[in-house]
Amino acid sequence: MSLIHRDPGNAQPRFAKTLAQGTNRLDIGRLFWVATLGTALTLSAALATNVAVAAEPIPDPLHEPAGPPGFADVVERVTPAVVNVTVAQEARQTLSIPGGSVPDEGSPLYEFFKRFGGLDEMPVPGPRQRRGEGSGFLIDAEGHIVTNHHVVEGATLIEVTLNDGDQYEAEVVGRDPKTDLALLKIKADEPLPHVTFGDSSGARVGDWVLAVGNPFGLGGSVNAGIISARGRDINSGPYDDYIQIDAPINRGNSGGPLFDARGVVIGVNTAIFSPSGGNIGIGFAIPAETAADIVAELKTKGRVDRGWLGVQIQPVSEEIAASLGLSEVRGVLVADVIAGTPAEAAGIKSGDVILEAAGERMEDYRDLTTLIAGIDAGTRIKLEVFRGGQTRMIPVTIGEMPREDLAQTATDDEPAGDEPRIGLYLAPLTPELRAERGLEADAQGVVVAQVAPGSPAQAAGIKAGSLISMVGQQAVTKPSQVVEAVQQAAAEDRPSVLLRVEQDGEQRFIAVPIG
């Protein structure tokens, strides 16, 4: 007998439908069981894996590298050659009274204080020692050390401290203020650790660099960063071509080496850009190839001799090129030709554009300055000059750059300790300086390029940028005339020299004591 009852109005038996529903429920249960079984198998596999991993030795974190590769090996190799440079400078103290300085001698107020203030009984402070610090690095086993000119400028004593703590007194072999480099020498009983100059020309923006030095007098410190830019001109001199870096350098890092990631010297840390005087991520280094050439001359001659053309120049802009009809925006525009110079003798004129010099294309106006400086005086070269819509070749004999702009109270070299000095660095008054200072075209005198810290000139109130037009009652037009006048005054045992100084829009005579 059949157990299946068919519904005449339904093609599917009732039990069969129920069974199908039950089958669906069974399928769901089966799927749940399969899923559960899969999870269990997965957990079992995971547990098996964990057991296998746990069976291996656990790494020792003390022997694993922490973070990306570091510079420890490079630092260990190069830091013995980096030194701290400490200098002592004589700083004069001025006589002062509560509420201000003593009035100038000869003024009514001076006579008042003289008569009623007891100036004769007031103690006059004597010279005191001021200390400064910087960095440097040994470049040979004999003890030659590279640092910055501004680190040792005006120093009466220079002490060098090596990485191992040994101290030596150093002497100045030579200095070059135009590139802010100086070469020192210490005497040791045994060969010294040292590094050598490399070549920065292959260094690219973004490359790692290490700055090693003596920031804030803390001692040897290493900072890492990258090259931020190349060829920077910071208006510090005619040969600006700095490497800009973001490696933290601060006061005291001056003169220290800049290494690449291999430990090769690619620069000399020289300057920072900072409103506060501390690091903000903008530092500048002299390229190694530039420093190497300067140091080689300082080592052999104690000074740097440079070729000289005698022109004031400026870059060629797009507007200048278009107005002159130049097909390319390149070359060097001659703004002025200084009288009595090789350029004038060769027939170079204001408005000329120098396209080539000694066969070298002039892409940037600084190219000419660098090229001419490296040519020996007396060498004859040819200049390709664009004038009046045409190019022409002009031969010129290179002269020797005058060193009078570095004159303090000597004609060429630094004065000896027993020679008179007033602390002025002087430069000729060129047409460019006349225009810059807003002076008349016929203005005469000598420009104060720099005033030595703590010098008699600084104590007398003379500032950089001032114009000296007379010494005593004699007009002067050359730095050498000021030098000779100071030497003559000292020879006559005069305590001071009288200078007529134009400063802050006023002219006045100032008596400067002779040191």
Active site residues: 150, 180, 254
194 labelled ligand-binding: no
255 labelled ligand-binding: no
Nearest-angstrom CA–CA distance, 383 and 367: 13
Nearest-angstrom CA–CA distance, 269 and 136: 9
Residue 349: count of CB within 10 angstroms of its CB: 14
Measured between alpha carbons, how far is residue 271 from residues 181, 234, 354, 384 in Å?
12, 9, 31, 36
Nearest-angstrom CA–CA distance, 254 and 283: 10
Residue 268: count of CB within 10 angstroms of its CB: 31
> For residues 335 and 314, is the Cβ–Cβ distance under 8 A?
yes
Nearest-angstrom CA–CA distance, 148 and 183: 8
Place of tokens 């305590």: 495
- The answer for residues whose C-beta is within 8 angstroms of residue 219's C-beta and 6 or more apart is 84
Nearest-angstrom CA–CA distance, 278 and 215: 10
Amino acid at 293: D
Nearest-angstrom CA–CA distance, 236 and 250: 18
Nearest-angstrom CA–CA distance, 97 and 110: 12
Nearest-angstrom CA–CA distance, 446 and 9: 126
> For residues 410 and 483, is the Cβ–Cβ distance under 8 A?
yes
Ranges of beta strands (E only) in 429-505 are: 446-451, 467-471, 474-475, 496-503
Closest-CA residue to 195 (of 237, 139, 152, 144): 139
180 labelled ligand-binding: yes
Nearest-angstrom CA–CA distance, 146 and 131: 19
Nearest-angstrom CA–CA distance, 279 and 274: 7
Amino acid at 355: L
Strands of the sheet containing 171-176, edge to edge, are 167-169, 155-161, 82-91, 128-138, 144-147, 181-185, 171-176
253 labelled ligand-binding: yes
Nearest-angstrom CA–CA distance, 425 and 406: 5
Longest dimension (CA), the chain: 154
Nearest-angstrom CA–CA distance, 244 and 281: 9
Three-state secondary structure call for residue 426:
strand
Q: How far apart are the first and last CA of the chain?
A: 141
Beta bridge partners of 134: 85
**What are the residue ranges of helices labelled H in 162-313?**
288-301
Per the annotation, binding residues are 150, 180, 252-254
Extract the annotated binding site for substrate.
150, 180, 252-254
